Chain A
Amino acid sequence: MDFDLSEEQRLLKDSVDGLLADSYDFEQRKKYAAEKGGWSKAVWNKLAEQGLLGLPFSEEDGGFGAGAIETMIVMEAMGKALVVEPYLATVVLGGGFLRRGGSAEQKAAYIPSIIDGSKTLAFAQLEKNSRYDLGDVSTTAKKKGDGWVIDGEKFVVLNGDTADTLIVTARTKGGQRDRNGIGLFLVPADAKGVTIKGYPTQDGLHAADITFAGVVVGADAAIGDPENALPLIEQVVDDARIAMCAEAVGAMDESLKSTVEYLKTRTQFGVAIGTFQTLQHRAADMFVALEQARSMSMFATMAGDFTDAKERASAVAAAKVQIGKSLKFVGQQSIQLHGGVGMTMEFKIGHYFKRLTMIENTFGDTDYHLRRVSEQGGLI
């Protein structure tokens, strides 16, 4: 048992924190978000230069062979700075599918361009009626010659409006909610029949609704088994949930810090409002919520590589429950304790609240994951 970071992990943390401290304050973030596509290519290139885009990939694929802890470190730092660049969509999700399920050819074709920052990815999964069920897929992929023809609609595809390549879930056989018969396909964003309607999201990121109408791809487009990709999807989505837990911890950490700072400096009735016990105790409860979330983020990070998929899923679901509860409390109370300025777009605290809120509703909210844990018979 050891909660300390290794020397290399500490260096990584220092370098990510340093990079973001230099180039990612709240004003700079606004500028990046205002760039075409909603994020900064220059920042992305810096992340590539520091090797952050190549972290989780194996050395033979040109990466650094780093593990879940390194991703946790990076995501927590990104949560603190509210980074808008598509790290989750490209490195964690897109990269996750390729490194965990891709063929040697697919890895060679896509991973180097992720690592050098030249290409980004997006995971097109959500459908009108699928909600949080990853096995609920109506989009179809029908065999045609050696390849496939994809038809269907996907919604709120994170980074869907700027990605070069989409990774699409589509049904190759069976009914809408069958666990079997789901495939995973690499589709160029500019393929014929792909229509992308992009938009900004509530939390300052970008997403897209995407229509696939008779989109033809080759046999080499399928990642893993085109008739049984759900286990891979579940694993990589768990990776994304774990990463978002760390991101949320970073965002909560910064929210609490900012709130405590405000309590110390804002005066009312001639004293700092931080001298009021009712506010002190609220802040203490926020600290408790944050630390409980941090513990579960670590737990989920360790669970990411469990070989037993059920055990992994339970642990990650439990973490998402704790993070969901904590982020709601910390997020809402951060606004409350900031008072009126917390409601304004120009003050940063509201932006943390919005990102935290969207994290809860991505890949399963608190109730959804609580049900999953309880259906597994709990943790004890």
Chain B
Amino acid sequence: MDLSFTKEELAFRDEVRTFFNENVPASTRLKMQEGRHLGKEDLVNWQRILNKKGWAVTHWPKEYGGTGWTPAQHYIFNEEMQMAPAPSPLPFGVSMVGPVIYTFANEAQKKYFLPRIANIDDWWCQGFSEPGSGSDLASLKTKAERKGDVWVINGQKTWTTLAQYADWIFCLCRTDPTAKKQTGISFILVDMKSRGITVRPIQTIDGSHEVNEVFFDNVEVPVTNLVGEENKGWDYAKFLLGNERTGIARVGVSKERIRRIKELASKVESGGRPMIEDDKFREKLAAVEIELKALELTQLRVVANEGKHGKGKPDPASSILKIKGSEIQQATTELMLEVIGPFAAPYDDHEHGANEPMDWTAQIAPSYFNNRKVSIYGGSNEIQRNIITKAVLGL
């Protein structure tokens, strides 16, 4: 047992850190630091910088552009990226549909889509959730009927993140209405320009537009856009969701935010002295830092165990990462809100033309509101407890 990084790993960390220091565009970095939403351009530019370096799809197999790094290297890379801070490559392409394509799709699909995902030539979004199917995903109703050379899709997806920018959507559709729940679902790739698709924005409580509803009204999709076998989509979805949980702890994001809390708390005064000198506040912050240190170690333990649970099978302990990671992210936004206190109130409405953009402190309350989502998405924390109950405790 040795919990310190090896000399090689430390050298790798320096290399990665230097690259991020020199290559993350200043405006992107600033937006990240201030908790502002990134535009499509920010994300595309940055991912292309990464792709040029060969680091856009680091965890893919080498033959499709991956790096062949060790789990520790992936961990270091992600942590440094989060602390830079820089955005992750677009997860809907790189972490979700990409692995499904290289694992289950045919050669033509691999050849066409994979390089375009890496270079973000296509912007992908995820068509899983529906109005009636949240945690109970397999109850989805959107159907695809085979008519000659096309699938005809009818239904509705929701919570579709950044669909307003998307070129493609990967959808779970019911293709056999007679089969029971999990069987009879297929995994279909749909061009967002297809006739019959309507995207409607959902504004979240922080005032932002991240998620959307996507409507399918007799949308025709070539049959060749099916991934893998018909009615096997649930297996591919489970595979995808297993991949989604790794990296969900977002330790680097929380570290970076704690740094900002300290910075802000040393400027904001309360009772004639900086907040950071207030014992009660400082102890609350220290308590979160300790939880985060424990989570970091737990994450490293999960990383070190990768592959020991059978190929492609996620470690059930990774549910801890989701639960604790989201709780800590929420705790840090809450502390930030506490520091700014009464000055959290002003609302920056410039996106709707009302005002000039405000000082970044206007992002603090929205960030707190927005982060309530992290214990809901990606399998809510209650679902994670169900996973622990069944897969770890055997209850």
Contacts and interface: CB of A to CB of B under 8 A. Distances in A.
Contacts of B392: 284, 287
Contacts of A284: 319, 384-386, 388-389, 392-393
Interface in A277-303: 277, 280-281, 283-285, 287-288, 291-293, 295-296, 298-299, 301-302
Interface in B258-303: 258-259, 262, 279, 282-283, 285-287, 289-295, 297-298, 300-301
A264 to B, nearest CB: 7
Interface string A355-380: 00000000000000011011100111
A322 to B, nearest CB: 5
B279 A1 contact: no
B135 to A, nearest CB: 13
A2 interface: yes
B6 interface: yes
Contacts of A293: 294
Contact of B3 (A1, A292, A322): A1
A11 B280 CA distance: 46
Most buried by B among A260, A291, A298, A302: A291
Nearest to B382: A281
A2 B301 CA distance: 9
B389 A283 contact: yes
B385 A379 contact: no
Most buried by B among A69, A274, A295, A301: A295
B395 interface: yes
B295 A321 contact: no
Nearest to B3: A302
Contacts of A280: 385-386, 389, 393, 395
Contact of B1 (A9, A264, A295, A321): A9
Given A260-B393, A288-B388, A1 B282 contact: no
A275 interface: yes
B26 interface: no
A233 B4 CA distance: 26
A81 interface: no
A1 B304 contact: yes
A318 B289 CA distance: 9
A5 interface: yes
A318 B294 CA distance: 9
Nearest to B292: A380
Q: Is the interface of B mostly helix, strand, loop or mixed?
A: helix
Contact of A1 (B9, B258, B290): B9
B11 to A, nearest CB: 14
Interface size class of A (residues with CB under 8 A): 35 or more
A269 interface: no
A133 B178 CA distance: 71
B304 A3 contact: yes
A150 interface: no
A292 B298 contact: yes
Contacts of B104: none
B101 interface: no
B286 A373 contact: yes
A299 B3 contact: yes
Nearest to A366: B287
B157 interface: no
A73 B282 CA distance: 34
A378 B289 contact: yes
B3 A298 contact: yes
A371 B280 CA distance: 9
Contacts of A6: 1
Nearest to A276: B395
Nearest to B288: A378
Nearest to B385: A284
Nearest to A367: B283
A1 B6 contact: yes
B290 to A, nearest CB: 5
B289 A379 contact: yes
Nearest to A317: B290
Interface in B295-322: 295, 297-298, 300-301, 304-305, 317, 319-320
Given A288-B324, A292-B320, 20 more contacts: A1-B2, A3-B304, A6-B1, A281-B386, A283-B395, A287-B320, A292-B294, A292-B298, A295-B295, A296-B293, A298-B1, A299-B294, A318-B293, A322-B290, A370-B290, A371-B279, A374-B286, A378-B282, A379-B286, A380-B259
Interface of B: 1-6, 9, 72, 255, 258-259, 262, 279, 282-283, 285-287, 289-295, 297-298, 300-301, 304-305, 317, 319-320, 323-324, 382, 384-386, 388-389, 392-395
Query: What are the nearest 7 A-B pairs in CB distance?
Result: A295-B297, A374-B286, A284-B385, A284-B388, A280-B389, A292-B294, A274-B395
Interface of A: 1-6, 9, 69, 260, 263-264, 274-275, 277, 280-281, 283-285, 287-288, 291-293, 295-296, 298-299, 301-302, 318, 321-322, 370-371, 373-375, 378-380
9 contacts: A3-B300, A281-B385, A284-B385, A285-B385, A287-B320, A299-B293, A299-B294, A370-B287, A380-B292
